[in-house]
């Protein structure tokens, strides 16, 4: 449900709105009340409501000033209450990002319609916020844990992977380069980094793929070969395992 803050200096109007609007059926609830713009500003900062219903003319600070001081920061949906004499202010407010207005004397059916519209806008805001958060998470994914003061053998393995990740790599390759058994190499690597050589190699390759996919000129079907995993179908399978979405979905979100 979506939280609503009521800001109105006339108690009888504010209480009438609270008592008359079918909040629950509109997927909303009243989270707080204020009698002027200063109180409203404070409650917006404290409660972070999804929707603010406010009068224009109020003592101390009017509704439009309160909205101007808070909306860009807290990104709520604003509904203003206005009389015919302030209609021009209402239209200016609409142009400046207020969702809608309801004329006084209030018609509760019109108030309900305005609230339903505000709820739909709030749903869209929430959806975009979640999408943006997911995009930020995707952009900052790190599959490789950076560690310092590693054993020289581990450093050699990491260097080999960094230089040859585009090629086919198996443990026997490392055995030949390092002159240690595959078992010893894997045990030592697991102890140092908490994973196997092959698991680390997959993560390293996908990390490289993420960097490639942030370039809009990258041809997705070629990324699997460029990072050493192989054909697109298998690459996409591995990519989904670590990132949770396909390479194409990832690129669409981050670009």
Provide the pLDDT confidence category of residue 131 given band limits of 50, 70 and 90.
Answer: confident
25-53 pLDDT per residue, tens: 999 999 999 999 999 999 999 999 999 99
Cβ pair 78, 32 in contact under 8 A = no
Q: For residue 143, tell me if it sits in a domain.
A: no
Are 178 and 70 found together in one domain? no
Question: Which residues are CB-neighbours of 192 under 8 A, at least 6 positions away?
Answer: 147, 150, 151, 154
Are 102 and 165 found together in one domain? no
Is pLDDT above 90 for 139?
A: no
Give pLDDT, residue 97: 76
196-244 pLDDT per residue, tens: 899 899 999 999 999 999 998 899 999 999 999 999 889 998 999 889 8
Q: For residue 137, tell me if it sits in a domain.
A: no
Query: Which domain does 100 fall in, by range?
Result: 2-131
- Provide the pairing of β-strand 77-82 with 51-55: parallel
Q: For residue 115, tell me if it sits in a domain.
A: yes
Q: For residue 194, tell me if it sits in a domain.
A: yes
Token pair 């709030």 in the structure block, residue: 122
Q: Which residue has the higher pLDDT, 116 or 86?
A: 116
Give pLDDT, residue 34: 96
Are 99 and 166 found together in one domain? no
User: Domain total for the chain?
Assistant: 2
Provide the Cα torsion 150, 151, 155, 156; round to 10°. 180
Task: Quote the DSSP letter at residue 228.
Answer: T
Q: For residue 233, tell me if it sits in a domain.
A: yes
The CATH number of whichever domain residue 76 belongs to comes to: 3.40.50.2300
Q: For residue 48, tell me if it sits in a domain.
A: yes
58-109 pLDDT per residue, tens: 989 999 999 989 988 888 999 999 887 777 777 777 776 788 889 888 999 9
Q: For residue 203, tell me if it sits in a domain.
A: yes
Q: For residue 136, tell me if it sits in a domain.
A: no
At 244, give phi and psi (nearest 5°).
90, 5
Q: What percent of the chain lies above the pLDDT cut of 70?
A: 99
Q: Which two tokens stand for residue 27?
A: 């997927």
Give pLDDT, residue 27: 95
Provide the pLDDT confidence category of residue 146 given band limits of 50, 70 and 90.
Answer: confident
């Amino acid at each position: 449900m979506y939280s609503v803050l009521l800001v109105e200096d006339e108690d009888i109007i504010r209480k009438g709105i609270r008592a008359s609007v079918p909040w629950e059926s509109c997927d909303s609830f009243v989270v707080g009340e204020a009698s002027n713009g200063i109180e409203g500003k404070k409650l917006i900062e404290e409660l972070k409501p999804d929707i603010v219903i406010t009068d224009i003319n109020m003592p101390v600070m009017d509704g439009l000033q309160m909205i101007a001081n808070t909306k860009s920061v807290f990104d709520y949906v604003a509904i203003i209450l206005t009389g015919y004499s302030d209609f021009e202010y209402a239209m200016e407010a609409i142009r400046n990002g207020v969702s809608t207005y309801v004329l006084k004397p209030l018609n509760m059916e019109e108030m309900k319609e305005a609230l339903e519209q505000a709820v739909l806008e709030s749903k869209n805001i929430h959806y975009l916020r979640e999408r943006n958060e997911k995009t930020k998470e995707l952009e900052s994914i790190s599959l490789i844990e950076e560690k310092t003061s590693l054993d020289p053998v581990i450093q050699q393995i990491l260097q080999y992977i960094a230089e040859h990740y585009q090629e086919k790599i198996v443990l026997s390759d490392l055995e030949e380069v390092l002159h240690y058994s595959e078992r010893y190499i894997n045990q030592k690597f697991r102890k140092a980094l908490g994973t196997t050589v092959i698991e680390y190699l997959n993560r390293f390759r996908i990390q490289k793929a993420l960097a490639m996919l942030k370039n809009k000129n990258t041809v997705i079907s070629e990324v699997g070969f460029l990072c050493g995993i192989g054909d697109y179908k298998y690459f996409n399978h591995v990519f989904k395992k670590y990132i949770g979405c396909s390479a194409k979905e990832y690129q669409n979100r981050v670009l």
